[in-house]
Amino acid sequence: MSHTEVATPVAMDAHEEPEMTHRQILVVFSGLMLGLFLAALDQSVVSTALPTIAGDFHGLNRLTWVVTAYLLTSTASAPLYGKISDLYGRKRIFQFAIVVFLGASALAGLSQNMNELIIFRGLQGLGAGGLMVLAMSIVGDIVPPSERGRYQGYFGAVFGVSSVAGPLIGGFLVESISWRWIFYINLPIGAAALVVTSIVLKDRGERRQHAIDYFGALLLVAGVSALLLVTTLGGSPSGYGYPWGSWQIITMIVAGVTLIAAFIFREMRAPEPIVPMHLFRKRVFTASNAAGFVIGVAMFGAIIYLPVYLQVVKGVSPTISGLELLPLMVGILGASISAGQIITRRGRYKMFPVAGTAITTVAMGLLTFLSATSSYLEISAFLFIMGIGMGLVMQVLVLAVQNGVDYKDLGTATSLSNFFRSMGGAFGTAILGAVLTDRLDGNLLAALPAAARPHIGQISRLIVGSPKSLKLLPAPIHTAAIQAYVHSIDTVFIVATPIVFLAFIAALAMPEIKLRSTVRTRSAPPGEATPPSAEMEAPAADPLVV
């Protein structure tokens, strides 16, 4: 079995603390899940409030920066949190991230203009990047991989709940209280997370001599920021960004690629690299992150348009569109928890990302059949299948990575898993958004009556920005706009389907390492480096297997 691998048996350190009981782990998990819920919720809860915020601050031309600022800082900071927590311990860094997030949330709610809100959203992202990465890393500190599946399934459930609850909660708060409460609601949840982690969480990570590569960190943040700016600003003229061929976008692409190349060159020589290059020699690490990146491209880039489909084509409110995504949440919730329980009992995990990416590919293909007359039952079935596929993949890829690396690299490896998935989501949103925009203009031109074609730009903006105003258009124009949008979003799903299939191929290529029954890879005497994991029945001559 040349593709099956296993980690070295682990001996318990004499000074290592005994493993926690199931009850103790659940108490810690309550705090971790609250922190993770904060970060995951804030990715989606703001979306329904953006039009109201833009109206209050008269800042429609800077509206995208409310999202972009959060995306930039949360994605770029993730690898730094992972590395710093490996060096200093995770509890204090996790609590620091909570405090930063809560402080920024309070300031965002108090914002008096668009500039202030953008700055405070960036600060929120700095905290959120640590919440996501460190919650998953702490699991690696307290639960051995052989038992981790049952617990990480709950994390998948958190992502599923937040993806649906975000628009629902945001819509309710905006319509009944004020958009400011989408930020204030974070305060009691975060305070509870801070109290729980302060009481029950202990730092189990080892302290080591450290020399953080600050210059490498600067190169990484600058390079990632440049590339993310390309994805958020590219292809959007008329005040929202720049055309793809503009000198601004080309300059950012060149700068981003150059900075990332310089970062890689730096990391290969740094004594304490932010991203250890040796991790990419592990097939399980490389294949898992490739699958995570591709899933992010297709899944996040396509799913983001489903609420717009429901609001534009089916004519429902933002709150109702959130409710109608419940089948997606149910699928994620059930599949994620079930997969975790089965992994814990059987000790095998590869079949889940393989099956999950296959199911997600099928679901994406089914979404290409959405039309203006699709029933809610049909939509629900497609969303439920999609949820099952997503639930089988997301957290299992993190488990595979954590189990396949040495304990000293746990935080870094976990942060990189989230980093690649977030980057995939950013690129997917841009790529598939460009597909939607391009096809929408073409389909509108073909569908609109001749007299309305000079107003195609205004109608296109109404479709994606103001569904309520779209309803007020004359019936022939409204019908043409609906048909044009349906055909355009079908094209988005057609493009996304083969992309998801690439994730299926990456999952097939991922070797399976036997789950360890202890937290650490093995004990090493003080001063001795932890050896690389040995992998059962892997051919010794294969340079990619370490």
Q: In whole angstroms, what is the distance from residue 197 CA to residue 29 CA?
A: 9
Distance, CA of 236 to CA of 461 (rounded, Å): 11
Alpha-carbon distance 119 to 160, whole Å? 28
Distance CA 285, CA 291 (A): 10
H or E stretch covering 147: helix 145-176
CA–CA separation, 405 and 230 (whole Å): 32
Which helix (H) or strand (E) segment is 5 a member of?
A: strand 4-6
Give me the pLDDT at residue 384, please.
92
Chain-centre distance for alpha carbon 139 = 18
Nearest to 161 by CA among 313, 317, 43: 43
Q: How many CA atoms lie within 13 A of 78 on its CB side?
A: 27
Whose tokens are 């001599």? That residue is: 209
Q: What angle do CA 457, 235, 502 make, to 5 degrees?
A: 120
pLDDT at 3: 44
- Whether residue 506 contacts residue 499, with contact meaning beta carbons closer than 8 Å, is answered with no
Q: Which residues of the chain have pLDDT under 70?
A: 1-22, 43-44, 47-48, 50-51, 54-55, 58-64, 145-153, 156-157, 160, 163-164, 203-212, 232, 235-241, 301-302, 318, 451, 457-458, 460-470, 516-546
Instruction: Give yes or no for a contact between 528 and 402, defined as CB atoms under 8 angstroms apart.
Output: no
Output the pLDDT for position 192: 83
pLDDT by residue (tens digit) across 293-309?
888 887 776 677 787 78
User: What average pLDDT is seen over the chain?
Assistant: 76
Bridge partners, residue 234, by sequence = 242
Q: Which amino acid is it at 57?
A: F
| Cβ atoms within 10 Å of 208's Cβ, excluding its own | 10
Integer-rounded Cα radius of gyration of the chain: 23
Cβ distance 106 to 187 under 8 Å? yes
Angle, helices 456-465 vs 475-509, to 10°: value is 60
Give the chain's count of helices (H) and strands (E). 21, 2
Looking at residue 19, what is its pLDDT? Answer: 60
Helical ranges in 6-45 per DSSP H: 22-44
- In this prediction, residue 8 carries a pLDDT of 39
CA dist 374 and 306 (Å) reads 13
How many other CB atoms sit within 10 Å of the CB of residue 79?
24
Q: Which of 147, 146, 117 is nearest to 514 (CA)?
A: 146
Joined together, the tokens standing for residue 59 give 């800042």
The predicted pLDDT at position 107 comes to 94
How many angstroms separate the CA atoms of 244 and 90, rounded?
Answer: 41
Q: What is the 3-state secondary structure (H, E, C) of 500-528?
A: HHHHHHHHHHCCEEECCCCCCCCCCCCCC
- 270 three-state secondary structure: coil
Q: How far apart are CA 53 and CA 117, in angstroms?
A: 10
Q: Is 58 left (phi over 0), alpha (psi -120 to 50) or beta?
A: left
Are the C-beta atoms of 412 and 279 separated by less than 8 Å?
Answer: yes
CB atoms within 10 A of CB 534: 16
Q: Packing angle between helix 376-404 and helix 410-447, nearest 10 degrees?
A: 150
What are the pLDDT digits (tens) for 222-244? 888 888 778 767 765 444 567 77
| Helix, strand, coil percentages, rounded to 5, for the chain | 75, 0, 25
C-beta of residue 133 within 8 angstroms of C-beta of residue 74: no
